[in-house]
Amino acid sequence: MESIKKEKIDNAVKEINKYLPLRRRLGTAVYCYQRLQTFPRGQGFPQPLDSNQEYIAIYDAMIISYMSCFVSNSSGNFILRPQKVFKGKPELKTFHDDLYKARNKIIAHNEIDCDNCYPLIGNDGILLKFITNIPIPSIDGFKLFDEILRVSWEYMYRKILNISNKLEGEIGIRVNIDSKN
């Protein structure tokens, strides 16, 4: 009987461990989002140029961390499926899809069609970045980003909680799950 309990515990731990990379990535996206909120607002970007580079780096890290939760991998770890995470929430699903397109076109694969973009020049005459007509959600427009992070985090937490509840039902052992960290 003890070996069966140990096997069930080991299997539950293995299943929960497959969610840990998601937890780290979502945590990174949340941190980046909160950090971007500290930048002064102005004409689309904070000033001066050094701050712009930091802003862009944190913005890119936020999008990459968030999107990596939804991209297939060969590690055997779980990924989130937008059609499940945002089921019944079409506005969030659309926003997620727009972020995915921006990530692919601008951040990950640099597929900007420069016939449709123009340079943003800093006060010192240095090129800051190219602006494109590809829809790139600005941090000021991220009213939905809080929501998609929250919904994604809660979905992941429910999946882990289901594993814990199943284990408790089968052998009477409860796995303590802390959703805050």
The confidence score (pLDDT) of residue 125 equals 46
Mean pLDDT of 16-21: 86
Q: Three-state DSSP class for 118?
A: strand
Q: What is the distance between the alpha carbons of residues 133 and 21, in angstroms, rounded to a whole number?
A: 33
List pLDDT tens digits, range 127-160. 445 555 444 455 445 678 888 999 999 999 898 8
User: What average pLDDT does the segment 16-40 reach?
Assistant: 86
Q: Which residues of 44-79 are buried (b: 16+ CB within 10 A; e: fewer)?
A: ebbeeeeebeebeebbebbbbbbbbbbeeeeeeebe
Nearest to 18 by CA among 129, 162, 174: 162
Structure tokens at 3: 């070996």
pLDDT in tens, 65-100: 999 999 877 677 788 999 999 999 998 998 888 888
- On whether the CB atoms of residues 172 and 164 are closer than 8 A, the answer is no
Length of the chain equals 181
Output the CA angle 17-99-122, nearest 5 degrees.
Answer: 120
Instruction: Please check the confidence at residue 18 and state whether its pLDDT lies above 80.
Output: yes
With bands split at pLDDT 50, 70 and 90, how would you rate the model's confidence at 59?
confident
